[in-house]
Structure 1
Amino acid sequence: MTGRKFAAAFLLSALLPVTAHAENFSTSVLNPAALPANGVVTGNYPTGGGQANYYFAVDLKPGAFASQISAQGGGKYKTLTLALLDGAGAKIDSYYITASDDGREATHVFSIDSGGRYIIRVTPEGPEASAFHVALGGSALPDRQPAETGSGNSKSFLDPTPIPANGVVSGKFPGGAASSYYYFAGDLKAGQLMTQITLTGRPGAMKWASLELLNDQGRVDQEYHLSRTDASADATKNFAIDRSGRHVLRLTVQGVETNAYKIEFGGDALAAK
């Protein structure tokens, strides 16, 4: 490669978003890898199965350190644990998911009281055919480069789809055996958030969906679900909003790709409607 071509290739690679993959992982808490600028770590489970610990260092500011973890594939039981350690390697907080063939994901917001260097530990355990994905962000990581969310409703807890002014979101089921997760955010007032789930599709085809209101820690506060084989079905629930501000909701769907969903938001908590 000529010097000019090499320089052009180097410049192009520098402009692309960087995500940590297996070849960038460190298994040493004393010498952790740098967390990528977009806060994303993704990879396969350890060769031969079993457990591995991967370490990443990051400088955080006081605030909310938001996280989203998921595990898929492998056809067997697996776990994924995310831990926040201080600069000396002592655990501050952690959470985990267990998953089978259909995959799982979860979210959690760590509270950062003081700025400084922290260590992230990612621990996958399970069959090597499995894969994991970790996304980190929030006000404690203000310089994070937003990841590509693709078309349609957002699958990112860190970059959710805003609830539109008319309060209606819709989409198609992606199909497959795995559950699919979508995130929506809105500036809500204290009061009642009225919601309705409507599922449509071929008669006899299974249609499953749940809608969850997440709290400030990224955990489920209130939820309901709908499971039907009818051509069209709906369910409703009012979520009690106890404080004004930004709130995130998670929609989970599972079923054939000919199915469709529609979620309607309203009530006195939705100021925009």
Structure 2
Amino acid sequence: MFIANVIANIHSQFKIPDGLRSAKPISSVPQWTKEEAEKMSREKYRERYLGIDSFGFVNENSQITVSETKLGEETEKQVKDEPPIIIPSTVQPTANPKNDLIKTAICNNNFISFIYNGTPTIVKPTQFNNGNLHAYCYLKNTNRTFSIANILNPVIKQRAFTLEATGPNLGLDRIASIVNTAIQYRKFIRMRYTRSAWTTYSVDNTTGELIIADRIEAEESIRTISNIQLATDSPGTQELWFTPNETHITSYCHRREAERMFRFDRIGELAILDI
């Protein structure tokens, strides 16, 4: 009745059944006192209520004899056990642990970090054959083929990045924080960067006219950089035509394979590689 009243207060359309109104209310049973509980235990109240000889531990000396019925025997004869299902290993171990690691990474859709020709990198493997590993390289940001014999210290990784940031919340403060972390721990950064457009002019010595010598369009690209430092700490910036500030960094660009300077306000997304 109490529950019905609660429902009726919540839902006005609910009508309490007349049969429930006239039902005999359930009377509460007072809790046993300690003395009453000890008396019930001595009189084996629970055992008599459940119709058993004892309650709790079963006497080890007591034995239960189970006899099969004729119907049970006939049914048992018709039962056929299913053969056990043995799930084969996804990667069969071989004598080459490096190949086993690559197979496991491909099977589990993982990444692999390793040293290749003296440079660390992390890749997403796709296949390997004839002694070569085919994978997407996050250092060069393109598909590459690696000689497995030259791969050193391979390690399976669950993710390519330890930290990444993108989207409208990527402001200069967030970029500076990630860059400072990469500088402190000497990490590689992968970023989407927009290079500005510029035009180079020359002067016609005869007429004095300005002539467009070269025009470079703006370009957005994915780049991975290392050996990062703030431009204000870089010794090679004194010769620039402008004075860099704390929003400029210098680093080795693995796309251009040369030292480059980058501005924070042209970075669209960035991540620290797990290498």
Higher relative contact order (CA 8 A, sep 6+): 1
Query: What range describes the TM-score normalised by the shorter chain of this pair?
Result: under 0.3
Report which of the two has the higher share of helix. 2
Q: Max radius of gyration: which structure? A: 2
Instruction: Output the TM-score relative to the length of structure 2.
Output: 0.27
Report which of the two has the higher share of strand. 1
Instruction: Output the TM-score relative to the length of structure 1.
Output: 0.27
